[in-house]
Structure 1
Amino acid sequence: MPEFTVRTATDADFTTVFTTFMSAFLHEIKDKDEEWYRHEWDPGRMHVAFDGDECVGTAAVLTRRMTLPGVGSRPFAAVTTVTVKVDQRRRGALTQLMRAQLHELHDKGLEPVAALWASEGGIYGRFGYGVASQYTRASIPKGLRFRPGTDVGEHRVRLVPREQALPLVKGIYDRIAPQRTGWLSRDEQAWTLYLWDDEADREGSSALTFAVHPDGYVIYRTKRKEGDRGPQGELGVYEFAADTPVAAAALWRFLLDFDLISEIDAPLPVDDSLIHVVADARQIVRKQRDALWVRLVDVDRALAERRYSAPLDTVLEVTDELCPWNQGRWRLVVDSSGAATVERTDAEPDLAMDVVVLGAVYLGGPRLTELAASGRVREVTPGTLIPASRAFLADDQPFCPEVF
């Protein structure tokens, strides 16, 4: 394997990085793409790999915050723009980039947790990332009835022009996000990037449209279609947020009664309440997909960052080839409030696992017992697996509403 030169980017690398990224993700560069990419450009948090004078790969971190179980919003490394040029793959550039990124986070004492969305599912497990959350892609037919007695409240859902809707939407989001595991912080730059709406990227759909309730909102696009029996338009939900069950029901009723639409496509949390609200949940066709992949940069700092659902005193034996400072035995002690302390120990282990497993269970979604059933967790001390599995669970399934 060749040794590539991996270094931190500079402003002078912008064009090279931009074209490498767009090409690797099979995008043709359009008029406003460079303007869009400028919004997340932070060369100080970008690593680039060179083979001589040729840029062959990139890996960046966005400075963001994520809601963790029981503690609200905490800093994490939002890993993005991970690319390797198509003619440079399988030569080790990605491994060097991932190592450089993780080692820098550790050496500088930066975010203890990293997370990403994976373009391909077979890549990131070998770098210590585990699938920590799933989401459901739901196809919902128009007109689906609610269960009798469902309360949609008295407030009307209103269509609001984008500029008037933004302060309302941002206020509601800031109220909800700290309560929902996996939701991210959004400053003005993050909002600009998230709601970027260039006409060339709409693929025949409408501009983003905003419908607002006092306790929630839905952002969506529509697409006209005609069928043999009349209009068969499509409505694609971009983001759905509700602070109360009544608001959620009102917003769904607004969508389900939409004129000229035959089907709604929506990304939903795995434990979304809609299937318990409608009279015939079978009509909602759901496909589950992986969402956030999580990696513990520093096991001790990361495990102490979140809260747990039950007291615990256990010793974890962790393997981590890419980040050797995590290797070894860690005593995790959780008190009655759910707060944890984590210290190195020479005591005999209760559970043994790879760091990938800790990433997978970190947000409280997958159970340790699930991973043990697949042979990925070894119970060394009998009777210690189930209490640890229960302690790691969160009150709700983690869900991240945005790809970064």
Structure 2
Amino acid sequence: MAEPPQGDEQLTIRTLTDEDLSAFSEVLASAFLTDSSEEFLNEERVVFEPSRSHAVFDGETMIGTGELLSRRIALPGADPVRAGAVTSIGVAPGHRRRGVLSRIMRAQLELLHETGESLAILWASEGAIYGRYGYGLGTQYARLALPRGTAFRRDVAVDPTPVRELPRERALPLVRDIYDKVWQTRAGHLDRTDTSWEYYLFDGPERRDGQTGYRFAVHPQAFAVYRTKLNWQDRGPRSTVYVHTLTATTPEAYAAILRYLLDIDLVGEVVLRLGVDEPLVHMLADPRAAVRTMFDALWVRLVDVDQALMARRFLMPLDVVLAVDDELCPWNAGRWRLLVGPDGRAEVTRTDDDADLALDVSTLGAAYLGGARLSTLAAAGRVRECHPGTLARASLAFLHDEEPRCLEVF
């Protein structure tokens, strides 16, 4: 991996304080080509962690921003761990190509290394940016568009308990309880504190894009949060339902909440953001009714290779030596023996033995949650098999029984 440019040595970087929030918000708004406003500031204030935020200054002027949210992420077969959720990355127009982003990314990785957080995660505004800093595409999501009334297969079991629409204040305690029951069961899901829930469901006009405010459909074991966009045509209403989030604790409740959404009156189409292995497609009488488009989702960075690998569980026993390239985090570079026992637990230690597989840290990040096969990455030229036969075993071991999923943009 090429060394990112170091940039202008006259620039400075420091950790922020509460008093920096206003300038932080202004730089971020400018970088994302939107207007600075009180609403934008309030949205940032909800999750602002100054002690985990950095800014680059040109003299006294703030020109670059970055923040690490304190979150926990579910891992394959293991308990959740702390992760630095990278957000609010922005460089003011007119100050780009000076190494501002590189300074922020290095500061974040060093902070996480010092605090013992072995993972960094993010959603990328542009897909070509973060591979330079060791992040790999760890999960994807699918956008599914279905006509109103799309039929299920006859054998799909639908929970008969009615789905009710509730006002936000009544729905939220139920929604949170359902989410808390399931988030730890799927690799890639994140915990949600009071502040992360507030940010995730922030409902200001700037987020609506001509749609309504959030509506809450609640079943005792499932919920959906959605918006609608009105569309009255000469032949009748063809409004669109945009599903922001959907969670269920049982297959029958999942079917019930989907059936409710697909049968809303005055609607032409229902659009959902779901995981790539979502059962919905296999529930349809006609699978072609769902038009699917794939997008990148969570990018994963191993801050400390050994600790990160030992935190997750593996699908089968394995003894493999990984030669890891990591120019930004030199403590990761070198050869590591990954020894996985029958229980899926791993020991990771430094070794002088010959490598079985050679890869860079971004490739390891892509495979970490089980969302990308090492064999697929090898076919893309990103993994080199040094000893024949080791790639197939390692590729299977890194998988999990379900695809990882993260649908929460932070």
Regarding TM over 0.5, the answer is: yes
Aligned counterparts of 2:176 and 2:138: Cα–Cα separation in 1: 26
Which residue is 1:374 aligned to?
A: 380
Is the aligned partner of 1:386 residue 2:382? Answer: no
Is the aligned partner of 1:131 residue 2:117? Answer: no
Using the TM superposition, name which of 280-289 and 29-38 deviates more.
Answer: 29-38
Aligned counterparts of 1:191 and 1:109: Cα–Cα separation in 2: 25
Which residue is 2:285 aligned to?
A: 279
Tell me the secondary structure at the aligned position of residue 324 of structure 1: coil
CA displacement at 1:29 relative to structure 2:
2.7
- Decide which of 166, 172, 181 is 1:175's aligned counterpart: 181
Aligned counterparts of 2:159 and 2:60: Cα–Cα separation in 1: 63
Which residue is 2:45 aligned to?
A: 38
Report the count of equivalent residues.
403
Is the aligned partner of 1:98 residue 2:82? Answer: no
Is the aligned partner of 1:48 residue 2:50? Answer: no
Which residue is 1:164 aligned to?
A: 170
Tell me the secondary structure at the aligned position of residue 325 of structure 1: coil
- Decide which of 296, 300, 308 is 1:294's aligned counterpart: 300
Task: Kindly provide the amino acid, as one letter, of the partner of residue 349 in structure 1.
Answer: A
Aligned counterparts of 1:16 and 1:199: Cα–Cα separation in 2: 22
Matches within 5 A, 1:71-90: 71-90=78-97
Aligned counterparts of 1:39 and 1:374: Cα–Cα separation in 2: 41
Is the aligned partner of 1:24 residue 2:31? Answer: yes
Distance change in 2, residues 1:199/1:51 (3 Å): closer
Which residue is 2:236 aligned to?
A: 230
Which residue is 1:148 aligned to?
A: 154
Residue pair 1:72, 1:179 contacting (<8 A) in 2 also: no
Distance change in 2, residues 1:31/1:17 (3 Å): closer
Tell me the secondary structure at the aligned position of residue 82 of structure 2: strand
Which residue is 2:216 aligned to?
A: 210
Q: Any idea what the Cα deviations from partners look like across 1:74-96, whole Å, max 9, x if unmatched?
A: 21110001111111111111111
Residue pair 2:25, 2:40 contacting (<8 A) in 1 also: no
Which residue is 1:308 aligned to?
A: 314
User: TM-score of the superposition, structure 2-length normalised?
Assistant: 0.96
CA displacement at 1:200 relative to structure 2:
4.5
Which residue is 2:13 aligned to?
A: 6
Tell me the secondary structure at the aligned position of residue 197 of structure 1: coil
Tell me the secondary structure at the aligned position of residue 346 of structure 1: coil
Residue pair 1:132, 1:360 contacting (<8 A) in 2 also: yes
Flag structure 1 segments of 5+ consecutive residues without an equivalent. none
Is the aligned partner of 1:332 residue 2:332? Answer: no
CA RMSD of superposed structures (Å): 1.0
Task: Kindly provide the amino acid, as one letter, of the partner of residue 335 in structure 1.
Answer: G
Aligned counterparts of 1:181 and 1:237: Cα–Cα separation in 2: 22
Identity within the alignment, %: 50
Task: Kindly provide the amino acid, as one letter, of the partner of residue 356 in structure 1.
Answer: S
Q: Any idea what the Cα deviations from partners look like across 1:48-81, whole Å, max 9, x if unmatched?
A: 1111112111111000001111013221110001
Aligned counterparts of 2:165 and 2:304: Cα–Cα separation in 1: 46
Is the aligned partner of 1:119 residue 2:155? Answer: no
Aligned counterparts of 1:183 and 1:245: Cα–Cα separation in 2: 18
Aligned counterparts of 1:290 and 1:200: Cα–Cα separation in 2: 23
Tell me the secondary structure at the aligned position of residue 94 of structure 2: helix
CA displacement at 1:12 relative to structure 2:
2.3
CA displacement at 1:228 relative to structure 2:
2.5
Residue pair 2:139, 2:299 contacting (<8 A) in 1 also: yes
Using the TM superposition, name which of 11-20 and 355-364 deviates more.
Answer: 11-20
Residue pair 2:141, 2:405 contacting (<8 A) in 1 also: yes
Q: Runs of at least 4 residues of structure 1 off by over 3 A? A: none
Using the TM superposition, name which of 235-244 and 66-75 deviates more.
Answer: 66-75
- Decide which of 333, 341, 344 is 2:350's aligned counterpart: 344
Tell me the secondary structure at the aligned position of residue 361 of structure 1: helix
Q: Any idea what the Cα deviations from partners look like across 1:14-69, whole Å, max 9, x if unmatched?
A: 11111001111112133422222111111100011111112111111000001111
Task: Kindly provide the amino acid, as one letter, of the partner of residue 263 in structure 2.
Answer: D
Q: Any idea what the Cα deviations from partners look like across 1:220-271, whole Å, max 9, x if unmatched?
A: 0112111231100010001000111101111111011110000011101000
Task: Kindly provide the amino acid, as one letter, of the partner of residue 76 in structure 2.
Answer: P
Tell me the secondary structure at the aligned position of residue 258 of structure 1: coil
Q: Any idea what the Cα deviations from partners look like across 1:158-203, whole Å, max 9, x if unmatched?
A: 1111111111000000001011111110111111111111235323
Aligned counterparts of 1:52 and 1:153: Cα–Cα separation in 2: 62
Aligned counterparts of 1:162 and 1:10: Cα–Cα separation in 2: 33
Residue pair 2:25, 2:36 contacting (<8 A) in 1 also: no
CA displacement at 1:312 relative to structure 2:
0.5
